[in-house]
Amino acid sequence: MEEEKLIELAQGGDRKALGELVKLYEQTVYNFSFKICRNKEKAENTMQETFLSMVKSLSQFSGQSKLSTWLYRVVSNHCLMLARSQGKHEYSSFEDENASIDEKEIADWKVTPDKVTENVELKNMLDAAIQKLPAEYRVVFLLRDVEGFSTEETAKMVELSIAATKSRLHRARSFLRNELNRVLAYE
Amino acid sequence: MNEIKPTCKEVMLHICDNLGEELNSAKCISIKAHMENCNNCKHYFNSVETTIEFYKKYNVELPEEAHNRLLDILGLKE
């Protein structure tokens, strides 16, 4: 059944249709939550909160945006709120982004992205690097570069201007690349 | 017409700024021309692209227990 029809039925109280909607998006929501939190317990908690929020607000869902886009926004906001409540702000690494580029000698990385599915060490390194990014930067990087939303869509989801979104994206890309380079440049 | 000749640092900053966007702009064309003859910038570009690919390919599966707990919480268990 089409998503639009499922939403309509779920809005009318059809529990089976609601279950179908949950099944349709639970993997996406869990995976994206994990990508922000880098922790399976927190990812599960975020997924539960997101779907509870969906059930609560579904009657007001107008269908102007896709349900998936709306879910991404809920996950992002939940994770940002969580990070703010934990007081995790580590902006010191971003003070002078231009100084972080040493253009004299740039190494050619030998490792290919395919290795990530089987290499636990590499996964740990990716987790460690992205966890150093403040959540506000992490969310923008993940929405735009990893999940493939446009800069405009990303800006809308995190309620930032396009200029501020681009600035965070630039810093996140540069920061993550430099973090990975510390290890991958010498392999 | 003035030809734009960016430095390596400008190229690297541009890469993080505009990766995959505005590919036909004058700035982007000058960046591509620079990269054709500059291994350092080519390596930098590849490393930024690889960074993104790493995070794209690193996915996790929803555990069955987590799926069951979710349906339970939502009151949707059959």
DSSP at A118: T
Nearest to B51 among A43, A169, A173 (CB): A173
- Out of B44, B56, B66, the one facing A106 most closely (by C-beta) is B44
pLDDT at residue A166, as a whole number: 92
In chain B, what residues touch A44 (CB-CB under 8 Å)?
66, 69-70
Q: Cα angle vertex A46, ends B72, A3, to 5°?
A: 70
Cross-chain Cβ contact B62/A170 below 8 Å: no
B68 falls within a domain? yes
Cβ within 8 Å, pair B58-A126: yes
Residue B62 lies in a domain: yes
Residue whose tokens read 């990893």: A146
CB neighbour class for A175 (10 Å; exposed up to 12, middle 13-18, buried from 19) = buried
- Domain count of the fold of chain B: 1
Residue A155 CA to residue A166 CA, distance in Å, equals 9
Phi, then psi, of A108 in degrees rounded to 5: -95, 115
pLDDT in tens, A107-153: 888 888 888 888 899 999 999 999 999 999 999 999 999 999 999 99
Distance to chain B for A170, nearest Cα, Å: 5
Task: Report how far residue B1's alpha carbon sits from residue A152's, in angstroms, rounded to the nearest whole number.
Answer: 33
Closest Cβ–Cβ partner in B12, B70, B76 for A15: B76
User: Do B35 and B41 touch, CB atoms closer than 8 A?
Assistant: yes
Structure tokens at B1: 């017409």
Give per-10-residue mean pLDDT for chain A (187 aa).
90 95 97 93 96 94 89 93 73 52 76 84 93 93 96 94 94 92 84
Report chain B residues whose CB lies below 8 A from the CB of A47: 62, 66, 70
In which residue ranges of chain A is CATH 1.10.10.10 found? 91-184
Of the candidates A109, A126, A170, the beta carbon closest to that of B47 is on A109
Shortest alpha-carbon distance between residue A126 and chain B (Å):
7
Q: Which two tokens stand for residue A175?
A: 């920061």
CATH of A3-85, one of 1.10.1740.10, 1.10.10.10, 1.10.357.10, 3.40.50.12780: 1.10.1740.10
* 43-102 of A, contacting B, C-beta below 8 A: 43-44, 47-48, 51-52, 55, 98, 101
Which SS3 state, helix, strand or coil, does residue A114 take?
helix
Q: What is the pLDDT of residue B1?
A: 47
Portion 98-157 of A in contact with B at CB < 8 A: 98, 101, 103-109, 111-114, 116-117, 122-123, 126, 130, 141-142, 145-146, 151
B7-59 residue pLDDT tens: 888 888 888 777 767 777 888 888 888 888 899 899 999 999 999 999 999 99
Q: What is the DSSP letter of A144?
A: I
- The interface pTM score, or ipTM, of the predicted complex is 0.89
A31, closest residue in chain B (CA to CA): B60
Q: CA torsion angle for A15, A17, A19, A25 (degrees, to 10)?
A: -150
pLDDT at A5 (0 to 100)? 93
Tell me which residue of A127, A104, A93 sits closest to A185, measured CA to CA.
A104
Structural domain includes residue B19: yes
Residues of chain A with CATH 1.10.1740.10: 3-85
- Report yes or no on B50 lying in a domain: yes
Of B47, B51, B45, B40, the closest CA to residue B15 belongs to B45
Residues 6+ away with beta carbon under 8 Å from A166: A151, B17
Q: Does position B71 have pLDDT exceeding 50, yes or no?
A: yes
What per-residue confidence (pLDDT) applies to A96?
52
Using a CB–CB cutoff of 8 Å, tell me whether B22 touches chain A.
no
Range of the domain at B16: 8-73
Looking at domain A91-184, its CATH class is mainly alpha
CB pairs under 8 A between A and B: 125
What Rg, from alpha-carbon coordinates, does chain A have? 19
Write down the pLDDT at residue A92: 46
Separation between Cα atoms, residue A70 and residue A72, nearest integer Å:
5
Separation of alpha carbons B37 and A80, rounded Å: 42
